[in-house]
Amino acid sequence: MLHYNERFPYVANYDVIVIGGGHNGLVHAAYLARAGRKVLVLERRHVLGGAAVTEEIFPGFKFSVASYVVSLLRPEIIRELDLPRHGLEILPLDGTFTPMPSGDYLWRVNDHAKTRREIARHSRVDAEAYEEYGKAMVEMGRFVKPILNMTPPDPTSLDPRGLKDLLFLGRRFRDLPDQDKYNQIQLMTMSAVDFLDQWFETDVLKATMSASGIIGTFLGVRSPGTAYVLLHHYMGEIDGAFRSWGLSRGGTGAISDAIGSAAREAGVEIRTEAPVAHIRVKNGAATGVVLESGDTLTANVVSSSLDPRQTFTNMVGDAHLPADFVEDVRRYKYRGSSGKVNLALDGLPNFSCRPGAGTHLRGAISISPSVDYMERAYDDAKYGRFSRRPYIDMVIPSLTDPSVAPPGKHVMSCFVQYAPYHLKEGTWDAQREAFGDTVINAIAEYAPNVRDIILHRQVLTPLDIERTFGLSEGNIFQGELTLEQLFFLRPAPGWARYRTPIRHLYMCGSATHPGGGIMGAPGRNAALRILKETSK
Ligand SMILES: Cc1cc2nc3c(=O)[nH]c(=O)nc-3n(C[C@H](O)[C@H](O)[C@H](O)COP(=O)(O)OP(=O)(O)OC[C@H]3O[C@@H](n4cnc5c(N)ncnc54)[C@H](O)[C@@H]3O)c2cc1C
């Protein structure tokens, strides 16, 4: 059926074509279709989900190949798309276990009293401060939360609606208690470690907590700006429990599948193995796409969930774009710094500091024994090599969700930093297995049996992340979450309102506000914007 819309004086195949079937593209499509638009999603791979995907890499072992835990997914999206009815089930992840070289460990769980007692074993002062810190972060999160659903105002524009939004933000900041104002400014400017130093004295506690500040960035725990990334990871909630993390039953792909099912129910057409080669531009406006197969599809609006390099440099072409925008796209920073090692295991890792298969294995397991360890891991990356002793965040989803591994076997997901996309020497293809060995060795320092229980391993370098998921330079968030690339600067100054210099071409993925993570907010915000700007 062809669609005609008065604002778009030509007949097109679709109202909106969405490029990319990652979770944001799917959220985006679902909202547009629910508002009556005829929507097509085009996904390059055979499977939906982008970086939120589950795949049976080895027979019987299902992996959340890239992203592995969930917290940031916006509750309003879960509600409005009725995702539990479409199969979404989040299983809480209980705490973080950090083994220490001394033979001790730090084990924070969701039970506040228990965690307090555990921290008091290391420092009574910190046990007190932990309570205060938690409250302060919840307040900071509350301040930022409404901003997540906002189309960023353009501070250079005199548009009254933008000015109203700026005023709203100014008022919210003015109404914060003084201490929260200071905290907010500190979070925006300080390093994760400097920020945490103000509260805590226990090295291992600061090291593990600071890890949230470096995820997906090419910065160290002592680099200014990382305190904000810490906050970004605090903004999630599960069933109303603020800053809690969980596993999705069936892996993170089950989240994408639930969103995909809601989208299909709303009428969205989804095509997999349909890579887009070009966005068609005529007289400064997008008119559709050309697939790699050569097929041309027309649409009144094209919306890309890909990052700016993929969207503009590769699919639009610089010739169609203003020179200053081309320069902004070129400058946008990816600098992938993460890798992933997925292990199929014959049993469970046995940590020397807490032997046996206890509940400490059911949460996150963090190889982050000291602040110096974390910073040294970054030192390697700064000079162009992967960390000799990396930071690793592990989960064993098969303990909570047995459906992902054969009986008695397990899957273990190891998120690793640093793995710089640009290596000083050699290539990632040549260094992939050495990187995998380094990760296993780092785990074996604390759980020596790990080498003996590995049945299969999948090693993903930043180059693999780029090749498989189309994430430029392997950046897990479609571009770093650093201050100069956030809010009204994401992805480029003047173009943070999901619109682009090409008329009828929008962006709706993690490269737009409020950024990366399985959050869905960019997809939803961009859909609401398109509906506003193209309503008949
Ligand atoms: C290794 C790793 C670990 C992570 N861990 C976590 C985590 O634990 N928790 C968390 O919240 N977040 C995590 N993230 C981040 C999170 O997964 C991403 O920010 C998020 O999934 C991005 O979603 P998106 O829809 O914006 O983009 P993407 O998932 O990048 O989706 C874009 C889609 O476009 C498709 N595509 C690319 N090129 C084309 C083309 N030419 N034509 C058609 N389609 C195309 C891609 O195949 C992909 O499906 C992780 C990411 C990675 C890579």
Query: DSSP letter string over 197-247?
Result: HTT---HHHHHHHHGGGTTTSS--TTSTTHHHHHHHTTS-EETTEET--EE
Computed on alpha carbons and rounded to an integer, the radius of gyration of the chain in Å comes to 23
Residue keyed to tokens 């040549």:
430
3-state helix, strand, coil in the chain (%, to 5): 40, 20, 40
Within 248-370, residue ranges assigned H as helices are 253-265, 308, 323-331
449 dihedral zone (left: phi>0; alpha: psi -120 to 50; beta):
alpha
What ligand 1 atom has the least distance to the C-alpha of 511?
26
The response to whether residue 465 sits with its C-beta less than 6 Å from ligand 1 reads: yes
CA distance 389 to 412: 19
Pocket probe for ligand 1: among 414, 506, 510, the residue whose CB has the most ligand atoms within 8 Å is: 510
Closest CA to 70 of 62, 60, 78: 78
Residue with CA at minimum distance from ligand 1 atom 18: 517
The response to whether residue 19 sits with its C-beta less than 6 Å from ligand 1 reads: yes
What residues are paired with 172 via a beta bridge?
none
**259: number of Cβ within 10 Å:** 34
The response to whether residue 8 sits with its C-beta less than 6 Å from ligand 1 reads: no
Which pLDDT tens digit goes with each residue over 334-365? 999 999 999 999 999 999 999 999 999 999 99
Diameter of the chain by CA atoms? 71
pLDDT in tens, the chain (536 residues): 334 444 554 567 999 999 999 999 999 999 999 999 999 999 999 999 999 999 999 999 999 999 999 988 999 999 999 999 999 999 999 899 999 999 999 999 988 899 999 999 999 999 999 999 988 888 888 888 889 999 999 888 888 888 888 898 899 889 999 998 999 899 989 999 999 999 999 999 999 999 999 999 999 999 999 998 888 877 766 555 556 689 999 999 999 999 999 999 999 999 999 999 999 999 999 999 999 999 999 999 999 999 999 999 999 999 999 999 999 999 999 999 999 999 999 999 999 999 999 999 999 999 999 999 999 999 999 999 999 999 999 999 999 999 999 999 999 999 999 999 999 999 999 999 999 999 999 999 999 999 999 999 999 999 999 999 999 999 999 999 998 999 999 999 999 999 999 999 999 999 999 999 999 999 999 999 999 999 85
What ligand 1 atom has the least distance to the C-alpha of 477?
19
**164: number of Cβ within 10 Å:** 11
What lies within 8 Å, CB to CB, of 319 at 6+ separation is none
CB-count exposure of residue 158 (10 Å: 0-12, 13-18, 19+): exposed
What residues are paired with 3 via a beta bridge?
12
Residue 263, helix vs strand vs coil: helix
Give 227 Cα–ligand 1 centroid separation in angstroms. 23
Residue 507, helix vs strand vs coil: strand
Please calculate the CA angle 55-60-62 and round it to the nearest 5 degrees: 30
What residues are paired with 340 via a beta bridge?
415, 460
Residue with CA at minimum distance from ligand 1 atom 7: 67
Give 148 Cα–ligand 1 centroid separation in angstroms. 19
- Name the token pair of 32: 């547009």
CA atoms within 13 A on the CB side of 189: 6
The response to whether residue 397 sits with its C-beta less than 6 Å from ligand 1 reads: no
Closest CA to 373 of 189, 170, 193: 193
